[in-house]
Structure 1
Amino acid sequence: MKKLYVVFNSQVDNNSMGGGDKIVMNISKVLGEKKLYDLKYIGCPEGYEMVSKNIKNVSFSYLNKFKVKSLGLLGAYFLRILFSFNIFKLRIKNEDVGLKDTVLWSSSDFLPDTFPCFLYKLFNPSVRWVGSMFLRLRNPFKKEIKFNYKTFFSFVSQQVSIFFFKMCCDHICVLCKDDVNYLIRKGIPKSRIFITSGGVNIKEFNEVSISEKKYDACFVGRFHTQKGIDDLIYVWKKIVEEGKNKGTKRKLAVVGWGDEKQVKTLNDLIENNGIGEYVDMKGFLDGKDKISVIKSSGVLLFPSSFESWGVVVAEGIASKVPVVSYRLPTIYENFKFGVVWVDPFDKEKYFSEVEKLLTDEDYRNGIINEAKDFVNELDWENVGIKFSKHII
């Protein structure tokens, strides 16, 4: 059987799984369950914790034992890159399967994930390397995003990984046409780039039932400015005020995570706008706990300003909860139904659409019903099978 080694070597902790992690984990899980590949994972301690939490009887080999909690983010990041050479100690080359039937998949474009694969491919050209770029980062040098050490470091890191992709990566998976065109402009042949997608576990969503709606709306995501935190609070304050005028107390559930500064910023926004009693901070949730909150909500708010696909949008559709999103081209091309689109970044229109969904049941049900057939296209099994055809 062909072998697939998935590299999870950039994780910060097991309670902050991003959309890219979720995509790689679920697609690889399908490839293993369908016995298309003998599946193995390699990486850091946090990578093991995250994978083992979501996949039973996981086969995992450590590239290093460096933890962010002990060394800090930058310390762990650089040491993981430095110890990438440990990939040569793993028994990737074995007697029953040659390297031509072996695939390395870097789960992100972070250097701790790409550099080990690049090194191994460089010295073993017959192994196939699948790279991932799930979010093209904005350029701080061109003032596309505020310049600070984080944006500088992240952008430069991605550019180095793209250089590695150009040199010897066999396949690069992205999430939208814009990113395909971006990599082509970087000199990577179109034949080596393919579009995959996020997805949802339809069976898991169907297993969660709720007796009543506890929240008028919910937000799911990182507490990052590009996720639209400022717009979220602006809109929700207006929703709360409109509810008061109608004698209704509106409640927002916030499911998400962030670093200490991001959490404080969000909490300050909530308190400074006087809506603390109208917001329920749920913290990080995943699996059925998260699904339960989404299904218990009337509307899912997705005010992101920068995305490549939008896993949370799919989760809203699968929960039969209408989603309100800005019409970003990278999201709009992926979701045909189940979403109310608002011109970027019209906060007043966003507010009016949310209010309409909360007060007009026929309008709300119409958005839900139009997506009832489309939702099956988002199942991880379908996504995984399509992915496998690109890396054969």
Structure 2
Amino acid sequence: MALKHTAIALLLLALAGCASVDVQPPVVTSAYSVAFSEAQVLAQGHAALTGQARSANAGRIETLLAGLDDAALARDAARLPVGDPLYSFAGRALLNRGLPLPRPFDRGDVSFGAADRPPADRDGYRPPLKVGVLLPLSGGQSAAAASVRDGFLAGYYGERRRRPDVRFYDTAAGASAAYARAAAEGNDFVVGPLARDEVDAVFADETPSVPLLALNRGSRTPPAGSAAFSLSPEDEGISLAQYLIQRGAKHVLIQTGGEDAQRRTASTAKAQLERRGVQVTEDIAAAQGVDTLLLAVKGSQARALMPQLALAGINAGTRVATSQIVSGTGKPAEDAALDGIVYPTEAWAVRNVDGLPSQASAAARVDTAKGPAARLFAFGYDAWLLTGYLERLALSNNGDVAGATGRLSLDGFGNVLRVPGWSRFAGGVPVPLADGAR
């Protein structure tokens, strides 16, 4: 076993190119399962890797952890010593399965710039003193930015306690320049930017002068004291896979549209399912015996697809779809073809959210909360919510906050995790599922 671990460590050094680190394999005892011990070795060298080698290493660690059942994963994670780099991976795996953490994540900075702020309220609310919000307020992304901005302000003005000064900065001329201006003007916290490449640009500095809550997830891990919040297709794919795993899916047929977001969601869900031992098929002709259908398509495509699946003899008992299923819907007589399909949605559509009017009421008041824009409006509200609660989430091992997009928590890498709400088509109309945010 020791020879095997040494070989893995040497392979990691080779993948890292000229990086020079001393990777010492841990002593393997009966305290850990074999897969967990192998993942522990890989995690020891993870920080020294970059680019594709880093992504591949993370994927291998996640695959090894996925092979453990809930009891083994929870047991082995609890036995890791404080500071072991595998704990962030194991803890995220636990959270994605809806399982509690045995202890808080090991973080280098849990304050998120809060050192000079007044003490937190009893519920953990401790907002910044002055916030700069980086958004593309002009140009091609201005419509999306307007929904995020209005959702942020809805949360801001709905809060009756101490609130920070807020100033918006246009990133149309460059996110890095906007960040530098926000830092120079005395903001003690920054929210944004919105685009993935912009997030990578501002996270290129591993010791930023002002901590950030980025509104997307790029290829870089957030620096200590900063975080990233995203409605990414990958996160939705993880939620869909976990939903199916919890319901005992054994053989899943996935049908995917041609858009990038659809492919990314489906690919992530497929990988998650296969890591947990679920059989996945993408060819209708080879899909006999499937018990579950997963659709990464829009509503119009799904309406056309359902009769084809019926003619092929596919009658999966469980049917789920990505949130894109609602795109192109709204006529109950036509959408009755979608009855029984469950899909993730914003918790705002499922339950009341403190500080926000209902989704229907907000849509009646402002265009930035209507139709597909409602998702970004909810995202903006949650960005505001997180500015006041990041420290609490970092200090608690199982803390979360009830946001408009779902229940929000923080993993060991500085990424905000989201448990969405769920709805089902019935009679051609979406119907929220009870307790859908959990």
Q: Could you say whether these structures have the same fold, taking a TM-score greater than 0.5 normalized by the shorter chain as the test?
A: no
Higher helix proportion = 1
